[in-house]
Structure 1
């Protein structure tokens, strides 16, 4: 959804102007006030969603304001009964009911993405609603005077709703993952494996038309079609990271002797989860690189003029920080620990991906505080990796001396804004606290 909100016509330079949608934004606000939106007038929810999307698109960094606006939208929608399926209300026509299902689908998706972005519990509880997903139908099949809805088209038929239906399957699983990850009680391995299977089921259920390989294999397709494919894969990799990231806090490739180690029976699971996390992060940054390449003039995404808002950047910032944690942990590993040939090759691959990603964050740093902070963080990491003795450490074991202030000046507090990655502030104790 964060990708889709950015996919608007215009040039990339225009897209970076946060004031671009202001006239329309002001008109929406005027309409909401004049219509006394708190009373739940017709189209109040749709107008509020327009306002939310524009404000979110204008934000270069994570802002609590938009999350608070989402709370208003959700409470008003619940008051108007959007969380219950229209079949419960005889006065709602089939056409109105299907439109309400589409609106609730959008609210549900925004609730989950903003919850994960801020690291806060989602506001919609699955137990309190039963609104069915909308059907896979084209707009021309719906009429205001229709007496009954036509049956949903098979997913082999591409309609404007097909992508939203496929995306909703990921949101349902991501919501369950968010609930388990943010719960005060610890997630069991049985629960974790069940959520992982649901995530893979959502991936396997992607309609064939939206299955992603690479943009280079899809140059003949429309830009919006390619973006839809990317969105679904980013949601999949995001789910893998959020589900398994808590294991990364327990074990590193080169576990430090002063850190508590997990029990032997659980350590293998932790290491497997660690690899899932780092692999997903690598895949996400490969997608980011493809998007950057193809949004240039002549690329298959150039016509979209993608707007790089905080919602767009968040997923890739998360992936960058996952790999940063991994690479820093190796470079600053315990004396006497070693990397085998495969681990060395993997380490160099991740370092290369991070160096490439840094070029993107450097370009955005003039407009985004979050991008600037990550750019600064990576710059300090690379000074450690490029310093004397680092290659010998990777070849022969040992630890880079990162206690001399190489990471001083990093604003670790900003990491709290990356939602479920807020505990990356723990890095400050290892990087600058020793």
Structure 2
């Protein structure tokens, strides 16, 4: 992909066709579509490998693909018709919206990995642009529960999911550094809240998608359409949730009941995510790695203890309506599914009230176990490398096993 991107830039694909001579309207639109694919893969694969993207926005001015049906223009047209409004659900609408999100995510990614320490104002400015783009998501691409999407085409459901994952992933990357930065300072309270909510929402998507891929599920016959890139989004969410629980645990003695309830949901979501990765151990190296790391984490971080609260108070907390106090509340509430509402997330009645949970695949002799021996000195960088699969020479190992066999996960 890196070679393809360089060749495309040498051929001028990074310049909008309106700035080039002897390019017909039809060829220009095809070039825009081609460059979007290259731009998206360059960004997402670079992020997956932990490498800088090849394409920088300062060097490109190619416009996103137009929201047009293929029948709206042809090779002989003298000019392209105006782009259709976002309410017209054409096959190119998803790519046009994702192009906008991807370009914001590229700036967020560069901001996150930059060696220069930026001010919090820069972070909030990027957040404002991201939230504005999320508000403008076309109606047909707004995320909705799978239970309410059984009449939709599978590709349309996945388009909604993938565009939402780009948004949630952007939030996680942008605000992650503030999860452990002076948690007593209310200045970063917004970042901690939205980052935790975004990672939790990604884990909800993982649980919902996993259930849909089971026999009789909506995607059981369409698993070939799923992208291996989404697996790394689930790893990112698990990593951030681990960090959030670890930092929250150190202050759990002073936590309010609402905070404890939030920690409990994250802990149970992480346990379910561990179960999903464990079920894929036989098919994927990434799944084995994720299962191993999460097993160690879950064995060290105790489940938040809320059993000492009065039963009636607990029931009222569980049944209380969700407060609209953040950009993720509506998204979390609107994506409730059978997998999320099931008893898998209400484990207080299953004998796991307050004890530390040691998953079945936990190995006390695992080298990663020593990372958590000193609970207040966790090396999160080392855990990141373990989740990303960095080899000894620092090269990320891509999990080609995800692309093999009857349960393939090709890029889409």
How far residue 309 of structure 1 moved from its aligned partner, in angstroms, is 5.8
The corresponding residue for 2:14 is 83
Task: Return the match for 2:266 from 350, 353, 365.
Answer: 350
The corresponding residue for 1:197 is 128
How far residue 193 of structure 1 moved from its aligned partner, in angstroms, is 1.2
The corresponding residue for 1:27 is none
**Distance verdict in 2 for CA 1:383–1:183, change over 3 Å:** closer
**Distance verdict in 2 for CA 1:154–1:391, change over 3 Å:** closer
The corresponding residue for 1:409 is 367
Task: Return the match for 1:360 from 266, 276, 292.
Answer: 276
How far residue 295 of structure 1 moved from its aligned partner, in angstroms, is 2.3
8 Å Cα contact 1:377/1:407 also seen in 2: no
Task: Return the match for 2:173 from 227, 232, 242.
Answer: 242
Task: Return the match for 1:206 from 137, 159, 183.
Answer: 137
Deviations 1:229-287 (A, max 9, x none): 111111111011000011123245xxxxxxxxxxx7xx213333122111111111111
How far residue 376 of structure 1 moved from its aligned partner, in angstroms, is 1.5
The corresponding residue for 2:334 is none
Distance 2:214 2:186 in 1: 43
How far residue 105 of structure 1 moved from its aligned partner, in angstroms, is 0.8
How far residue 181 of structure 1 moved from its aligned partner, in angstroms, is 1.4
Runs of 4+ in 1 over 6 A off after TM superposition: 390-396
Where do residues 32-431 of structure 1 align in structure 2 (5 Å cutoff)? 70-251=1-182, 267-306=185-224, 310-331=228-249, 333=250, 337-384=253-300, 408-410=366-368, 413=382, 415-416=384-385
Structure 1: runs of 5+ lacking an equivalent: 1-69, 253-263, 422-434
How far residue 392 of structure 1 moved from its aligned partner, in angstroms, is 7.0
Distance 1:376 1:417 in 2: 10
8 Å Cα contact 1:215/1:290 also seen in 2: yes
8 Å Cα contact 1:327/1:350 also seen in 2: yes
- Which sits farther off after the overlay, 227-236 or 300-309? 300-309
Distance 1:328 1:192 in 2: 23
RMSD over aligned Cα atoms? 3.0
Deviations 1:315-347 (A, max 9, x none): 00110111112223444x27x943332222222
Question: What is the TM-score of this pair, normalised by structure 2?
Answer: 0.73
Question: What is the TM-score of this pair, normalised by structure 1?
Answer: 0.69
Structure 2: runs of 5+ lacking an equivalent: 310-354, 372-381, 391-412
Equivalenced residues, count: 329
More helix by share: 1
- Which sits farther off after the overlay, 282-291 or 116-125? 116-125
SS in structure 1 at match of 2:367: coil
How far residue 407 of structure 1 moved from its aligned partner, in angstroms, is 8.0
Distance 2:21 2:44 in 1: 32
SS in structure 1 at match of 2:233: helix
Structure possessing the higher relative contact order (Cα contacts under 8 Å, 6 or more residues apart): 1
